[in-house]
Structure 1
């Protein structure tokens, strides 16, 4: 057993230097490239079963550095808004202090919608869902009165319910109600949602439902309110480690496609009858309304290029000021108006790649703004293959050229053991610079993090080999230096012995 162990240790010691380190570098290149491909499996290929095991063994192996790099791209070059098509009517702390705590009676919310509608907005989107009956409605109050107040109860029941009042307000304007989809049932979820028709183009027999985020349940407003509104939309966002980076513009609910809030508000504002989806067997290519077409990822999402919250504060108006008629009409007229909660403890705060915490309604506003500007971040399906080909080609060139003893580069590396590390840093910095420029001027999200990691690992294998070679050379030099001393010592001993023998012979002859 000891002999086999010693043989294995000897083999492992020789392996990094075998064939000038090329086999070791090639194994590192292929292994890491496969892990990188598995971490972001191309959507157009069937997902192998072994990827579930991979996700358990190597969670976020390349995904985390990739996302962090993309976040830094956005921090270096945040989007600068060039238009303001959205106004956010915020139910903020000032409003709650003046009007009352949330949730409001539905007739009070109807008054806010009426006040907004009076300024002629292009559409009104409610980042609010109302799945339960308002218990402050006159008929509900009547149900709680004692029998002695029968006449009062009858009078209350003769009044319209708060849902009926709100439904009239919704019906009188171009309103879109929000909803949230779930993959599990809760007490108030349903399995269906009233939504606009979806027209699919060019799927070639493929069903976009197989590609998009798909849910079976939805938390939506009451059917009476849904019937009164001009549109219904999902408010779901894609969260990755608590940060919003991508937004689904189209999703699946049961067996039908449902638009996100931004897309549905554009449909209602342009009075388009349908939402269009352009698909292929590889997934969704784009979604559109009227003459607007938005390129998407195969699953119907877009990468959102965020603007700093500091640059978007001017889009916010307080609901209190709207109710009191203190808002400039131009801030609402022909605008896409989003109504949502921003009061302390009420809002769903989201983290963005810029490191900011923003209200959930701000995310929807930035999606609409991005579509208006046509400034999209893109990571098309072919880009992953292009990155993989580049990594393999670049790695193979390094493996072929670097160990060559007749190249000036190899001579330089042999003379300076850290040269391969310095060279790797320079090449990776050039790669990072190229990716930054592609982001800034082309909106392309190129994975420089994986290129850096794999390139550094391949260069590092040769760096390790160079260190081993230097160590071997030092040992050989030390052996050569010690050999003459040993020989000289032996020669000295021989001379001393010869002198001693001569002296003994001389004494005996006398």
Structure 2
């Protein structure tokens, strides 16, 4: 066993001890810092093309650790709603049992829109897609009648279609229809959307935002009747929703998300304002409201727990029956969505909660109203990188000094570097939590911890190898049983025979 393990131990010991461990520590510092930059390349500077060649082979550890840490920030300090600008009209199990299964005839959905509009809300957003004609519409039913029922068919065709009825309801109310951008063409997709104009201030950000070629939207008749259209897309990362795009690219034009479009309708603005520079999107605004964004037009959403938002839900069945206090709707933004069993798209939030998709749209509106945004500006990434490099170089320069108190401590206590690393990183985490709580800043303490711990680990490994070598030498110098002198029996008194 000795012959097999000794060469490897000797090799690593020489490698780690070469130059007092500094070359290996430098390689670890700069190598991990480059991987960290790769995992979240800051905007404004083109990423080297060499990274694209190794994209499938480079691990995503830093991004995963970063997301988990940011989730921990939110779970430690979830947003506590300070206002209630949103009401959700839920097409829930109770409604489906009373009114009928989904999808409803469009005239029934029109009745729901009319019932909500009568309560004077600021805007009504529908989280439903209607790309196909209603097959229960009178003209569609007439097409399926036999020739013998020609008189009945003519009477049915004289009635307005369900799309006409719903279009009239959408036109009379401050309505916004939802749509979803998709990557691939399908039977119900199209390549354009009837949307409000985007007014860009600065550099065109189309190449920075997420771009799609197709959209799943409602029929053109309904699009023309609604006062606005907004996208319902969310950004999924490792199965959870953390970021929301406020604007997207659809073909060669920009389109807004539903919350921004609802604010545009409420303020009666002609366009959505987008402020951008060479680094990407800086903010998205409507009227006097401006929301700071990431360079790709996303925002980090600060989630509130579902326990604190349950009061915003009302049953669509109760609304149709006039059983909801009108004051709950007055001057509110109303979202209509599916929450019935098997009908809704459930999403996992950064808090680890499983919520209906319509809840995420409500939380976006709530966050914008309160102005409590999570921020991770480009400069934060550069500050993190400079801090890691500066502190890492300080460790590499100072720690190997044999005459320093820290070096003496490490030599006396082989686990000293681990103790120092844990203390420093606990202080770092506490500082980052404080920045999150006070300013909503997302600082990546996880990557800093990983890189600096690896650098200190280089010297920790050297100390361990030295201790192991000392112990091994001590064991080898001890006399073995085979080489030890034999113990002689104790001298016995000599008995002389009696004379």
TM-score bracket, normalised by the shorter chain, equals over 0.9
Q: Within 1, Cα distance between the matches of 2:170 and 2:312? A: 23
- The alignment partner of 2:233 has SS state of coil
Contact 2:73 / 2:436 at 8 angstroms: preserved in 1? yes
Q: Within the alignment, does 1:300 sit opposite 2:297 as a pair? A: yes
C-alpha distance 422-439 of structure 1, shift in aligned 2 (>3 A): same
Q: More helix by proportion, 1 or 2?
A: 1
Q: Within 1, Cα distance between the matches of 2:376 and 2:424? A: 23
Deviations 1:358-378 (A, max 9, x none): 000000000000000000000
Shift of 1:184: 0.9
Deviations 1:260-316 (A, max 9, x none): 001000000111111000000110000000100000000000000000011000100
Q: Within the alignment, does 1:181 sit opposite 2:178 as a pair? A: no
Q: How does 1:162-201 map to 2 (within 5 A)?
A: 162-201=162-201
Q: Within 2, Cα distance between the matches of 1:158 and 1:60? A: 62
- The alignment partner of 2:365 has SS state of helix
Matched pairs, number: 478
Gaps (5+ residues) in structure 1? Answer: 1-5, 490-510
Q: Within 2, Cα distance between the matches of 1:478 and 1:139? A: 96
Q: Within 1, Cα distance between the matches of 2:226 and 2:126? A: 10
Shift of 1:242: 1.1
Q: Within the alignment, does 1:125 sit opposite 2:125 as a pair? A: yes
Residue aligning to 2:317: 320
Q: Within the alignment, does 1:287 sit opposite 2:284 as a pair? A: yes
Shift of 1:216: 0.7
Contact 2:409 / 2:416 at 8 angstroms: preserved in 1? yes
- The alignment partner of 1:233 has SS state of strand
Gaps (5+ residues) in structure 2? Answer: 1-5, 486-499
Q: Within the alignment, does 1:37 sit opposite 2:23 as a pair? A: no
Q: Within 1, Cα distance between the matches of 2:80 and 2:138? A: 49
Q: Within 1, Cα distance between the matches of 2:418 and 2:478? A: 31
Q: How does 1:170-249 map to 2 (within 5 A)?
A: 170-203=170-203, 207-249=204-246
Residue aligning to 1:394: 391
Q: Within 1, Cα distance between the matches of 2:444 and 2:327? A: 43
Q: How does 1:262-281 map to 2 (within 5 A)?
A: 262-281=259-278
Contact 2:88 / 2:312 at 8 angstroms: preserved in 1? yes
- The alignment partner of 1:379 has SS state of coil
Q: Within the alignment, does 1:51 sit opposite 2:48 as a pair? A: no
Q: Within 1, Cα distance between the matches of 2:262 and 2:107? A: 23
Shift of 1:402: 0.9
Deviations 1:484-505 (A, max 9, x none): xx9x99xxxxxxxxxxxxxxxx
- The alignment partner of 2:145 has SS state of coil
Q: Within 1, Cα distance between the matches of 2:471 and 2:102? A: 78
- The alignment partner of 2:384 has SS state of helix
Q: Within the alignment, does 1:72 sit opposite 2:69 as a pair? A: no
Q: Within 1, Cα distance between the matches of 2:15 and 2:383? A: 31
Deviations 1:433-454 (A, max 9, x none): 1111111111011001101111
Q: Within 1, Cα distance between the matches of 2:389 and 2:341? A: 52
Residue aligning to 2:361: 364
Q: In structure 1, which of residues 306, 309, 324 is the aligned counterpart of residue 306 of structure 2?
A: 309
Residue aligning to 1:152: 152
The Cα RMSD (Å) is 1.8
Rg bigger for which structure?
Answer: 1
Shift of 1:51: 2.5
Deviations 1:318-356 (A, max 9, x none): 000100001011111110000000000000000001110
Q: Within the alignment, does 1:104 sit opposite 2:101 as a pair? A: no
